[in-house]
Structure 1
């Protein structure tokens, strides 16, 4: 009986200590629950932030890249099939253009019609028909002299500069008739009724007479003469 009383006294004395330990353990459990809730909240925020990053990447990078690749494939397909006109946006019928036409006044509409009619009735450009630079001559000059050799004396070289840019040279005796120059011009295809001869410097019409020689008209050295078109009288 005495031992039971001692045990009871011991338990009664240890009861306050046990209650104290139990009280200390309860706050620790509450703190752990709070920490666990905070960790769950932090993980949830991290997951939401990561989801937003993935959404922005898909919207701003991945989706435009896929659209660009698809557009290039579409353009290549239409180019291969020859239907590139399908790539244009075209114009909507009955849209803003019709509104603009309706808003114009009848006066401006008639004015634009008159201007269009003028443009359609513009005179065609007149193409000026130039006379042929060379007149084919079938007439042969019977008394045209032969060209003297280079070693001959009292010889002069005459050059004719044609309207076409061609330059012809020939040797004549100074004693030859001056008319031979016009005979030569006709022989190469320029009629005396359409063309004349003139000196180069000073520029003046060449005057000849039947009895004058080349020396008489001043051609005593090598000379260049111009074949010029006569002015046609209206």
Structure 2
């Protein structure tokens, strides 16, 4: 582009000279002389074009390594910037992971544990929060029919307010009440039985029958949570 501009300038500069020569030599110039003059002018322009082109190429040969070095430096700088950004992102990601593991997860687990405790307290099933108590399988005697004699209906009122009823023979061991309570999910290490009125703990022993512990008529017993010692 620069060589073309220079050639254009020289060409425009040569036009006035050409016109001047033509004006001076119009009376004496012939066609042959005119063609020779034009040939000289175009030859001069071609020579100038060649000189300018070579000069431009020579100058570009000096500029190219510098431009290459500059481009290479810019590329290296961009790579360094990308590496720095990548390391910063990895550091931020590792920091976020540590925050999640050390802060968020324990906080969420504690929150869920509190919600679970509150739920079981409301439903009266706090025994589920304890460890190491195996409920096992407790075989209860077959429930006698309604027409059977010497039977008694016992109702268990859980801490949540739910009431369950079952018939037993009065001659059944009083231990069956504890077995029934544990089968419902209330372990004897956390819960006990008490009478409704008057309200007192029910003394249950394996060698005593229901009649022996005072359950001779239909009775309502309360399942109460024991006070846990620290």
Same fold (TM over 0.5): no
* Larger proportion of helix: 2
Give TM-score scaled by structure 2 length: 0.44
